[in-house]
Amino acid sequence: METTSPVLPPAILEAGTDMHALLARLFPICRSITGNGVRQTLAIVQEYLPALQLHEVPSGTPALDWQVPAEWNIRDAWVKNAAGERVIDFRQHNLHVVGYSTPVRGWFSRQELDEHLFSLPEQPDLLPYRTSYYQPTWGFCLSHQHRLALQDAYYEVCIDSTIDEQGFLTYGELELPATEAGENPADEVLFSCHCCHPSLANDNLSGLVVAVALAQALAAQPVRRYTYRFVFGPGTIGSIVWLSRNPEATARIRHGLVLTLLGGPGPFTYKQSRRGGAAVDRVVALALRDTAVAHNTRPWLPYGYDERQYCSPGFNLPVGCLSRTPFGEFPEYHTSADNLHFVQPKQLSEARALLLRICGIFEHDQVYRNLRPYGEPQLGRRGLYKGIGGGLEGQEWQMALLWVLSLSDGDHSLVAVAEQANLPFELLHRAAEALAATDLLAPV
């Protein structure tokens, strides 16, 4: 089943405040790997990306080595004391209920209840985030202080949920076709993010809202050499389902990034693809260098987010993972402290700007051939030592021209030139365009 939204003028996400406003709108929704929370989230995303298609895959559908799980929905959940007061209340915070909890109703002793309670003694004021997708059980999460305060002998428990074997898994997909032919007009760039975590702002709503803003910016560009594909799916099972249903698309992916944890205060972190030296790994490294922001790069690790599905040996796609501080390495991770205050507009804006720089390198990377390779050509009589586009005179501009001419032998791309010259890619791209406007340079 596939659905699209009515065509409405979308709200444009340009500033970090715009992205944060969308994040705040999505934050209260109870999401999981299936169910109405995912549908509601993606329906809101459709307001910003009207061309987004929603796919509904029936429970039980085989997907590689997995099956689409039963659909989970929850209406209410609580623990009441003997006086009938809600001492744990799902309506107060989504994280109070273990994700995918089976329905339950009855009285439990304090000891029996304790087997189904989860808290963080080392962070006694915070709620943990816990799930049980594939092992049926039920439970509640609460602060450790709150847990210690439960002193009644018996408590009434209710989890009003459903687990429907006839349900569906929902994911969203957006395709922005190339507008002009590059080396191969079918080549694609993949961006993937999660839409499953409830009331966690950095993990993973930040990746989702940055993906929406990036998609809007790319859609507005009049020229695209690549097709850009965005997948909004639940963690792990979403990418597995997408891969199982799209073997043709996987063959067209030339670059890819999983976007996650982009709203926290830490430095950018890039986890390389399984290939290590793939073009996407080099391009992200170049963009981070040119942006001059705090960052670090990590080698491939077969654990983490959906890059481990895209990079599994049978697919081995060139997909890396871009985040800020990685999962599990900041104290707010998977707790109620991952809230709207933890994610700031500036952090979202910086992530969008970095991704647009990365896409700019994808778009403008090109192999050229020097048409006057014997000796250094006379640049002055071709006007190339004069200002190009204003303010480009000077030593750096001259070095950009010379580096492009020196390495344009039909084998080196502009990315390779930028790596060796240690000059900004955008400057070298302008130099190549200026040279190509004369009789000195031609694209291969």
Please report, in angstroms and rounded to a whole number, the separation of the first and last CA atoms in the chain. 44
Q: Where are the domains of the chain?
A: 2-68+167-364, 71-164, 367-443
CATH architecture of the domain with range 2-68+167-364: 3-Layer(aba) Sandwich (3.40)
How would you write the pLDDT of the chain (444 residues) with one tens digit per residue?
Answer: 555 444 456 889 999 999 999 999 999 999 999 999 999 999 999 999 999 999 999 999 999 999 999 999 999 999 999 999 999 999 999 999 999 999 999 999 999 999 999 999 999 999 999 999 999 999 999 999 999 999 999 999 999 999 999 999 999 999 999 997 655 667 999 999 999 999 999 999 999 999 999 999 999 999 999 999 999 999 999 999 999 999 999 999 999 999 999 999 999 999 999 999 999 999 999 999 999 999 999 999 999 999 999 999 999 999 999 999 999 999 999 999 999 999 999 999 999 999 999 999 999 999 999 999 999 999 988 988 755 455 545 789 999 999 999 999 999 999 999 999 999 999 999 999 999 999 999 999
Question: Are the beta carbons of 280 and 337 closer than 8 angstroms?
Answer: no
**Can you tell me which residue has the tokens 């006007």?**
383
In whole angstroms, give the CA distance from residue 294 to residue 425: 18
Question: Are the beta carbons of 232 and 191 closer than 8 angstroms?
Answer: no
Alpha carbon distances (Å) from 278 to 28, 272, 299, 303, 407: 38, 8, 12, 19, 20
Which among 323, 298, 318, 284 has a CA at the least distance from the CA of 425? 284
Buried b (16+ CB within 10 A) or exposed e, 302-321: eebbbbbbbbbeebebbbbb
Position 365 scores a pLDDT of 97
Position 385 scores a pLDDT of 74
The two structure tokens encoding residue 410 = 């039909």
Any binding-site annotation on 411?
Answer: no
The two structure tokens encoding residue 77 = 């959940």
Position 10 scores a pLDDT of 81
* DSSP helix/strand/coil, 418: helix
- Report DSSP letters for 287-338, one per residue: HHHHHT--EEEE---S-SSTHHHHTSTTT---EEEEESSPTTSSTTTTBTTS
User: CB-based burial of residue 228 (10 Å sphere; 0-12 exposed, 13-18 middle, 19+ buried)?
Assistant: buried
CATH architecture of the domain with range 367-443: Orthogonal Bundle (1.10)
Which among 370, 266, 384, 250 has a CA at the least distance from the CA of 318? 250
Any binding-site annotation on 203?
Answer: yes
CATH architecture of the domain with range 71-164: 3-Layer(bba) Sandwich (3.50)
Any binding-site annotation on 295?
Answer: no
User: CB-based burial of residue 244 (10 Å sphere; 0-12 exposed, 13-18 middle, 19+ buried)?
Assistant: middle
Which distant-in-sequence residues (6+ apart) come within 8 Å of 411 by Cβ?
367
Specify the pTM.
0.94
Alpha carbon distances (Å) from 34 to 77, 165, 339, 439: 18, 12, 22, 58
